[in-house]
Amino acid sequence: MSFTFISLFYLGLSLGQEMEVYNERLSKPHLQALTTPVVAPGGDVTLQCSLPPQSYPQKVTFFLQKLQNTELLQSKTGEWTKTDFLLFFLRPQDTGKYHCMYQEITGSYRVSEPSETLTLWVTEALPKPFLTATSSQLVVSGTNVTLFCWGPIRGVGFALYKEGEESFVGIRESTQDGDEFLLTHVNINHTGNYSCRYDVGLDSNVTTTPSDLLELTLLSQQDISFQHISKTKVSRYIWITLRHLVILFFLFLFLAFLCNHHT
How do residues 12-31 score in pLDDT, each as one tens digit?
433 333 334 445 788 999 99
Q: How confident is the model at residue 227 (pLDDT cuts 50, 70, 90)?
A: very low
pLDDT for the residue 16: 38
Domain ranges of the chain: 5-122, 135-219
What is the arithmetic mean of pLDDT over 42-46?
Answer: 94
Q: How confident is the model at residue 2 (pLDDT cuts 50, 70, 90)?
A: very low
Of 125, 199, 100, 195, nearest to 155 by C-alpha is 199
pLDDT for the residue 228: 44
Distance, CA of 63 to CA of 5 (rounded, Å): 10
CATH match of 135-219 with 3.30.360.10: no
Q: Is pLDDT at 193 greater than 50 in this prediction?
A: yes
CA angle (251, 256, 257) in 5-degree steps: 95
Q: Do domains 5-122 and 135-219 have the same CATH topology?
A: yes
Distance, CA of 136 to CA of 151 (rounded, Å): 20
Span 45-98, pLDDT tens digits:
999 999 998 888 888 999 999 998 878 899 999 988 999 999 999 999 999 999
Question: Out of 3.30.70.20, 1.20.1290.10, 2.60.40.10, 1.20.1440.230, which CATH number does the structure's domain 5-122 have?
Answer: 2.60.40.10
The set of residues, in sequence order, having a beta carbon less than 8 Å from that of 72 and lying 6+ positions away, is 2, 3, 4, 5, 63, 64, 65
Distance, CA of 176 to CA of 210 (rounded, Å): 20
- Residue 192 has a CB neighbour count (10 Å cut-off) of 16
Between strands 125-126 and 45-50, the pairing is unpaired
Answer for the pair 172, 181: CB distance below 8 angstroms, yes or no.
yes
